[in-house]
Structure 1
Amino acid sequence: MNMLRKTFCAAVLGAVTLAPVVSTTVFAAPVAASEQQATQNLVRQLTNLHSLSANFEQTTKSNGKKTVQKKGLTAQHLNQTFRGVMKVARPGKFFWETTAPSKQTIVTTGKTVWIYDPDLQQAVRQSLSDQVANTPALLLSGNTSQIMQSYRVSQPDHSKTYYTLTPKAKDSAFQNLSISFSANGTPTFMILNDSLGQTTTVRFSNAAKNVSIPASIFNFTPPKGTDIIDQ
């Protein structure tokens, strides 16, 4: 019995010795930046962005709630992907041209935004604030100090250049706006959740930072015969 007991114990100890060691890797949770740090980091990103040229793809989807038609936004924009080109010269100059599936141009050099639809021979003239919710990339051309006065900034992971802006005003056209930057400081995507229960995603490609852009790009004169609508 003693010999059997010794043999059994030896077998058990051998099994324990040969059992694989399971490694448990603990991943640290991301450390968020403080609001002050996040704001400073975003300001630094925007300050270093003097001009930008990029292609874009924009899609707006509804979360299922009943939506209300808003200036510059109609039902035909939902669940479609619009492609085009964007050009920005800070501060205040912005050019956004959709080339597919239909053509539309949005351009501004300051407070007034022109929205030109060549198929309808129509140009809408409205204030900059009314259009931000429909074209969130407009924030890239804004005055940095004004942006920081209007929004609270969060940075979920202090090591990543991803920020979320939440309007301070309760009657804002959108709930929050998130933006991510690449290592070289160009935006890669933006996600906007508006007050109508819709999410707009804008993805950028072929982005070129601090390039020379002719001033004429941002000047808009309605072609002869264009119907001008003030909003």
Structure 2
Amino acid sequence: MTAVAIIGGSGLTQLKDLKITRREVMRTPYGEPSAPLVHGELGGSEVVFLPRHGQSHTIPPHDINYRANIWAIRQIGVECVVAVNAVGGISPGYLTPTTLVVPDQIVDYTWGRAHTFFGSEHRKVTHVDFTEPYCPGMRRALLEAGRRAGMALLEGGTYGATQGPRFESAAEIRRMERDGCDVVGMTGMPEAGLARELGLCYASVAVIVNPAAGKAQGEISLSEIDKYLKTGMARVRELLEAAIPLVGSGR
């Protein structure tokens, strides 16, 4: 059984240094996942990798089949998921591009996405606790791995999940800041909630790639985001190599 899955976000459609052993095409009751599951070894530990936006980054945030992705990962026996998310910074301490954040809370602003495995077709109302949306043990492992690797990580913070694919208006960001959000992204939900419904240990590594709308002068620059994505994802890969053995060993 593979102990850890990595869901890659923007800028992480491939996992460098992953020793690939096989690719697995999955079918689920909810359709096909974003891409075949890539099985392999990273840092001496067995992992499975899934690019959230597809192999060529062609699936926008609102069209991702989150249910199929999470179901497929659980179906192969995975227990722990590390999600990688590119985000914009909102709060003053969260504005530096390439900074890595391990959030501890999330606010869902998305709409129209298939967000649960417990619809009316199950003929039984089912609720799950979501007080702590990210697994505390997984978060500790990521933070410890960062310390061991000499990497400065921001511990905690609230992820505001928006619909996309457009960026937010400055007024929307001001509202999110009043709501207590520190970073903003488009893929945090319903992924985290679905993982909780299937009993997965789930945590996020969020990479700040730009100040959110209104937090810097001028418009959001896609070229700047691409530049910071490359640098930030290189840091993510370094963190993952240090973290996966800790996560896989139950730390």
Max Rg structure: 1
Q: Between Structure 1 and Structure 2, which shows a larger proportion of strand residues?
A: 1
Coarse TM-score class (shorter-chain normalised): under 0.3
- State TM-score, norm by structure 1: 0.25
Q: Between Structure 1 and Structure 2, which shows a larger proportion of helix residues?
A: 2
